[in-house]
Amino acid sequence: MISVEILAIVVFIITYILIIDERIHRAVAAMAGAAVVVFLGIVPWETLLHHLDLGTILLLMGMMIIVNTARNSGLFEYIAIRTAKLARGSPLKVLIFFSIVTAVVSAFLDNVTTVLLLTPMLLYIAKVMRLNPVPFLLAEVLASNVGGAGTLIGDPPNIMIASSAGLTFNEFITIMGPVAVVDLVIILGIFIAVYGKSMKVDEHERQIIVRTLDGLDERAAIQDRVLFNKSIITIAFVVFLFFIHSSIGQYLSLIIPFVDPAMTLEPAEVALIGAAILLFWSRESPELIFEKIEWPALFFFGGLFILVGALVETGVIADIASFMISHVRTEGEAMILIAWFSAFASAIVDNIPLTAALIPLIHDLSGTMDVYPLWWALSLGACMGGNGTAIAASANVVVLGIAEREGINITFMDFLKIGMFVLVVTVAVGLGILWLMFMV
């Protein structure tokens, strides 16, 4: 008789094969796999909402509403033209500039929010400069995941680790910040080496691009000045709320006495508040805005969360992690194993349940070794592992979904070729930095 654990693994593998094959849309494959594990009772119906990460899905939905509403004003075209003019016709400068901006913003905002804001600009620049947008989109995604690793609030695994281990924002900046900076430089070097030649333009072509850009009036790109101003104000307010969401009660209680100082806002709440404000304020047609939401990406996430939930329910993830951890004897061995295991595992399954499974195991090791370095190894692997495959991180799926909607096809294997190489290099370098910090 087949055990429930084997069933969960088989369904997951078959679904993953369908996603890689791409003859069936990844959202359909994920939903079908989720339907099977629910039908078989592997994921009980009453636990469905527990595994269905509504925080991530509603965050995505809220930011998609904001971005799609703001897009009607011409905001992104305006910023894109200004950025392209600053690059003076150099595709490499555009790639480097956007990668750095993406990484920095992702360190202080959710990286999905970052790519939702920047991807429309990148696509517009590529269209105006008549460039292949694929290298720019790939660089943006990889930079967002690296930037998110640099701070406590940049990526969900870091928030989970900090909460469980009692780590501070300053500790993350001090330890993971340098790792993120070095890895970003390495990624830029990789992209220059791989795509540099294809991005080179001779002086004649560059002058044509510059003249084309100079002929564009960024002010003329603004289709609705009133909506433009409202969009900027709303986005600025949302960014502000993201910065203070974990301590908003402390500020509100100074103004409104009955507010609990311990009150917090989830990132999803911030996104939905911003979406509601902009829709109400702008009077844009919600029907037209909702049509532009990346529904396939949201349903893909829903299906994937339930599939991973099947592995959590059956104890598969916890058993694999426990087996790996049981074979280490020193802090150095544990740090290496945790970093590489969490990196490659995060490239296959969502890094949130994986991090949740590894946190108690690291606590269990505290009786036999100093686990402080292990928290940073877990952060490194869980965050950098998001660069491994097209479905390893939320930002990856969102950008590929937007690209697909614009007729740009980035296949699973296209992403894997560059993503897995970047994963190996960034984890190796990051692990080397952590080793110098804690083991030397």
Phi, psi of 424, rounded to the nearest 5 degrees: -60, -45
For residue 226, what pLDDT is reported?
94
For residue 434, what pLDDT is reported?
96
Asked whether the predicted pLDDT for residue 416 surpasses 90, the reply is yes
**Residues near 287 by Cβ (< 8 Å), separated by ≥ 6?**
none
Asked whether the predicted pLDDT for residue 373 surpasses 70, the reply is yes
Specify the higher pLDDT residue, 365 or 10.
10
The SS3 call for residue 319 is: helix
Q: Beta-carbon neighbour count of residue 267 at 10 Å?
A: 24
Nearest partner of 135 among 196, 213, 209, 208, judged by Cα: 196
Asked whether the predicted pLDDT for residue 83 surpasses 90, the reply is no
Asked whether the predicted pLDDT for residue 438 surpasses 90, the reply is yes
Global pTM? 0.75
- The CA-to-CA distance between both ends of the chain, in Å, stands at 51
For residue 52, what pLDDT is reported?
82
For residue 376, what pLDDT is reported?
96
**Residues near 347 by Cβ (< 8 Å), separated by ≥ 6?**
385, 386, 387, 388, 389, 392, 419, 420, 423
What confidence tens digit (pLDDT) does each residue in 262-282 have?
888 887 888 899 999 999 999
For residue 139, what pLDDT is reported?
94
Angle of the 394-405 helix axis to the 54-71 helix axis, nearest 10? 40
For residue 190, what pLDDT is reported?
94
- The answer to whether the beta carbons of residues 297 and 27 sit under 8 Å apart is yes
What confidence tens digit (pLDDT) does each residue in 111-154 have?
777 787 788 878 888 887 778 899 999 999 999 999 989 987 77
- The answer to whether the beta carbons of residues 5 and 314 sit under 8 Å apart is yes
Q: What is the mean pLDDT of residues 64-83?
A: 82
What confidence tens digit (pLDDT) does each residue in 47-73 have?
888 888 787 788 778 888 988 898 888
Please state, in angstroms and rounded to a whole number, the distance separating the CA atoms of residues 389 and 375: 23
Asked whether the predicted pLDDT for residue 371 surpasses 90, the reply is no
Q: What is the DSSP string of 15-60?
A: HHHHHHH-SS-HHHHHHHHHHHHHHTTSS-GGGHHHHS-HHHHHHH
Asked whether the predicted pLDDT for residue 81 surpasses 80, the reply is no
For residue 110, what pLDDT is reported?
66
Specify the higher pLDDT residue, 106 or 237.
237
The SS3 call for residue 363 is: helix
**Quick one: what percent of the chain has pLDDT higher than 90?**
33
Q: How many CA atoms lie within 13 A of 167 on its CB side?
A: 26
Please state, in angstroms and rounded to a whole number, the distance separating the CA atoms of residues 252 and 225: 32
pLDDT band at 1 (very low <50, low <70, confident <90, very high): low
What confidence tens digit (pLDDT) does each residue in 318-359 have?
787 777 777 777 889 889 999 999 999 989 877 776 787 788
For residue 435, what pLDDT is reported?
96
